[in-house]
Structure 1
Amino acid sequence: MTVAAPLIRKGRKFDQVLDGAREVFLRDGFDGASVDDIARAAGVSKATLYSYFPDKRLLFMAVAKAECRRQADEAVQLIDQTAPPEVVLTAAARRMVGFFMSEFGLGVYRICVAESDRFPELGHEFYHSGPLLVRQRLGDYLRFAVSRGVLAIDDIDLAADQFAELCKTTIHNRAMFGITPCCAPGDVERTIDGAVAMFMARYGGTGQG
């Protein structure tokens, strides 16, 4: 039986609390972030923080959802989608890898896996704000590229998921399981270059854009 997600109350200091929590979680990770530090960074009392988020886990997930959306929005704004697909995909891959290989990104993933049995709503929420959002944003670009004739793709959702997984090859599991050394800039670039090359070998179009 699925446990209903606790209701989160919103008020005039809600965004302020999220901003403070984001600063602390990005700096200290989930386990290292204390409620006292979060309240201090947010400029609110602990009572105010608890009135919005009675559980640190809920606050972490709210920050994670907001951070995933921020990263996706910035990627869309900063990447020139009219550039050659290799350029666009490489830029997108760097942003994706940078996020999911960060202490914060790894922390989100670990919490969702660890708590999935007791709190399945966490995994559900993270999927919709993380992997599904990546698929949607990548899908938007891939449709645009197909319309220009620079990519040839029949199943956009599958292709978007494939590219996201290619970007995790080797480095994500090594980071998740604490395999050292992990992961040198050369390893990351090798993974990104390989992901783009394989994707283009499968879906590269014949048009000149």
Structure 2
Amino acid sequence: MIEPKTRRDQNREVRHAAIVSAARDAFLEHGYAATSMSTIATKLGGSKGTLWAYFPSKEDLFTAVIDDVTASFRQNVREALRPGRDCYTTLLDFAERFLMKLLQPDSIRLHRLIIGEAGRFPEIGRIFYTRGPQVVLEQLSAYIRTQMDAGVLRSADPVQAAMSLIQLSQVQQSLRLWGVVDGARVEDVGDHAIEALNLFSRAYAP
């Protein structure tokens, strides 16, 4: 039996969420280097000591932010790759959801932050990768392996195959990261996903 949460536990959860939300806004607006624990504490109207009671370091706080911004997408990926549908429909669903996430303004800002600052702060690159791209790669490659085993896709390295589909989908994100293209219409996302999946399907047809 799950014990009901106490008022104190509930208050801590609310405070934790408020800290993560404030930190997310600060990191995306100012970058990792320019965001300090003192700045976030001031924004929240509390002391730095209180903030440290929740997160012992800026790296821990950044990790919580990445977990927060990727949580719903990880669930989205699991939903897209659920069993019971044909391979093309499943992978198209994945590609559309993946592209839609990549092209969201906050996703663009986060990727620019990682690209711009991971050279000086390699820890943020590792944190982002293990909680975002690596999880997606593992889930997608596990699904592709089942389709290869069933003969729906030709036998190959499922991890490399998953990377191929991910990279084909990321072309549109790159154009936005570089400022070449602005915005993303839902109908365009569908077209880009179909194009990426058709190329993937031709490469891995049995």
Contact 2:108 2:177 (8 Å CA) reproduced? yes
Q: Deviations over 1:60-104 (max 9, x none)?
A: 442213432442234214543231111101111122112221122
2:91 pairs, out of 70, 89, 92, with 89
Please name the residue that 1:159 is paired with. Answer: 161
What does the per-residue CA deviation read over 1:172-201, in whole Å, with 9 as the maximum and x for residues that have no partner?
A: 122112224433333322210111111111
Deviations 1:123-176 (A, max 9, x none): 11111222211110001111121222211231111101110011112x212211
Q: Secondary structure at the match of 2:100?
A: helix
Q: Any idea what SS the aligned residue of 2:161 has?
A: helix
Amino acid at match of 2:202: A
Change (3 A) 1:26 1:85: farther
Kindly provide the amino acid, as one letter, of the partner of residue 35 in structure 1.
Answer: I
Counterpart position of 1:139: 141
Indicate the residue corresponding to 1:179 in structure 2: 180
Give the Cα–Cα distance (whole angstroms) in 1 for the partners of residues 166 and 152 of structure 2.
19
**1:27-38 to 2 correspondences below 5 Å:** 30-31=28-29, 35=40
If the length of structure 1 is used for normalisation, what is the TM-score?
Answer: 0.74
CA gap of 1:28–1:180, structure 2 versus 1, over 3 A, is farther
Q: TM-score, normalised on structure 2?
A: 0.74
User: 1:166, 1:195 within 8 Å by CA — same for their partners in 2?
Assistant: yes
Task: Give the SS at the match of 1:81.
Answer: coil
How far did residue 108 of structure 1 move? Answer: 1.9
SS in 2 for 1:150: coil
Aligned residues: 189
Partner of 1:148: 150
- Residues 151 and 204 of structure 1 are in contact (CA less than 8 Å); yes or no, is this contact kept in structure 2? yes
Mapped partners of 1:37, 1:94: distance in 2: 39
Which range moves more in the overlay, 66-75 or 52-61?
52-61
- SS of 1:118 mapped into structure 2: coil
TM-align CA RMSD: 3.1
Return 5+ residue gaps in structure 1 as ranges: 1-11
Change (3 A) 1:59 1:198: same
- What does 1:100-119 align with in structure 2 at a 5 Å threshold? 100-119=102-121
Separation in 2, partners of 1:81, 1:38: 45
2:17 equivalent in structure 1: 19
In the alignment, is the contact (CA less than 8 A) between 1:29 and 1:107 conserved in 2?
A: no
- What is the 5 A alignment of 1:1-16? 16=14
Contact 2:168 2:196 in 1 (8 A): yes
Aligned to 1:200: 201
Q: Which consecutive segments of 4 or more residues in structure 1 shift more than 6 A?
A: 25-29, 54-57
Instruction: Give yes or no for contact 2:153–2:205 (8 Å, CA) kept in 1.
Output: yes
